[in-house]
Amino acid sequence: LKAVILIGGPQKGTRFRPLSLDTPKPLFPIAGLPLIQHHIAACANLEECKEILIIGSYPTSIMAQFVTDMQKEYRLIIRYLHEFMPLGTGGGLYHFRDQVRAGNPSAFFLLNGDVCADFPLKELWKFHEGKPNALVTIMGTEATRQQSVYYGCMVREMNTNAVTHYVEKPKSYVSTLINCGLYVCSLLVFQIMAEAFQRKQDSFYNGNGQGSPGYMSWEQDVLSPLAGTNKLYALQVTNWWSQVKTAGSAVYANRHYLELHQNKSSEALCKILPDVFIHPTAIVDSTAVIGPNVSIGAGVTIKAGVRIKESIILNNATVHEHSLVMYSVVGQDSTVGEWSRVEGTPSDPDPNKPFAKMDNTPLFNNDGRLNPSVTILGAGVTVPAERILLNSIVLPHKHLTRSYKNEIIL
């Protein structure tokens, strides 16, 4: 088995700003690990999975160190395949098809790099193996009617789980069974992709195509036509799953990955309310109270009397004495002064629902007002002492002088 992880490129992830300005979204730490390391760990856990290909249009130099580190850590073949320009969710995969086919793996996983899950890969693969006709099996989950239209929606035959109809982000309601962006594919899918690619090229050179030559949407150009042919299946799961689109959804995913891995710091440095991840190089004062659902990165300093909950503190940030950080992301190298408050608004989804909160919240309300539920400090931001920052987004390298509420500080 192999796995392919799609990570897009610098042109994507705009909703993840300002965090993506310094760290490419696929490498943004969630529960102490880069976002796609969770995918890699899940693949490495499956003995049969021997090779991982990461496809994206980030410059190779940005991904090189990460790939080397991952190879060392997981002892798998891991390669980054650089897409010369964004070719879409299907175009990159098709472009690098020979790399996927090499060695004739029995199947490959296709994983969207911006989803978080407990990755039931074995279950998905076994299901796929049990369907001799299947070219693609999609992991699906149940959403509400309102949420569903932001995703790929599937209608399936209940007895066989064959997908009879697939619509990507439908204009109106189709089904509450949505595509989680996690798949198992047989190598024969490349034959179908070749036909889809030819149609795409013909339409492009006839002047009807969008994007660039080589561009192909996996969902619209491959999955939609496959529906109803008995070659596309859906496995519905109730496992935890969510997307990381906005910075707010990163805080949400952080909470769940911490819970899933029950990450603990090596020793209790201060009062900890689980779940918490503290990098071993962080210095945390013994009078600080950290948690629940907090990740603290490398080289971070947390001073006396600090209280942090439901937040991500990125590398080398400093939170000074008696400050409070909650429902927030503090960017790398940022500083929060003494007795300050950096706060978002708690938005607890129903913990009993297996389906995660969908973060499709628009950044602005209809009246143009900012609508974040978290506060985000970009890299190198300075919050002075005794200030309050509530539901605000601060772009990198700002030295604030006053308090802010519901603002974007450019």
Taking the least distance from each CB to ligand GDD, the nearer of 127 and 183 is: 183
Which parts of this chain interact with ligand GDD (CB under 6 A)? 6-8, 12, 55-57, 83, 86-89, 92, 112-115, 151-152, 168, 178-181, 219, 243
Q: What's the DSSP call for residue 76?
A: S
Taking the least distance from each CB to ligand GDD, the nearer of 177 and 325 is: 177
Could you list the beta-strand ranges (E) of 147-219. 152-156, 163-168, 177-185
Minimum CB separation from ligand GDD for residue 182, in Å?
A: 8
Torsion over CA: 183, 186, 190, 191 (sign): negative
Report the alpha-carbon distance of residue 278 to residue 263 in Å, rounded: 9
Minimum CB separation from ligand GDD for residue 86, in Å?
A: 3
The residues near 188 (Cβ < 8 Å, ≥ 6 apart) are 135
**Residue 331 near residue 295 (C-beta atoms within 8 A):** no
Rg of the chain in Å (alpha carbons): 22
Minimum CB separation from ligand GDD for residue 149, in Å?
A: 10
Taking the least distance from each CB to ligand GDD, the nearer of 4 and 276 is: 4
| Structure token digits, residue 120 | 């039931």
In which residue are the tokens 């201060």 written?
270
Q: Which amino acid is at 114?
A: D
Taking the least distance from each CB to ligand GDD, the nearer of 219 and 275 is: 219
Minimum CB separation from ligand GDD for residue 143, in Å?
A: 9
Q: How many CB atoms lie within 10 A of CB 81?
A: 17
Taking the least distance from each CB to ligand GDD, the nearer of 174 and 288 is: 174
Minimum CB separation from ligand GDD for residue 118, in Å?
A: 15
Report the alpha-carbon distance of residue 186 to residue 156 in Å, rounded: 20
Q: Is 129 helix (H, G, I), strand (E, B) or coil?
A: helix
Taking the least distance from each CB to ligand GDD, the nearer of 221 and 333 is: 221
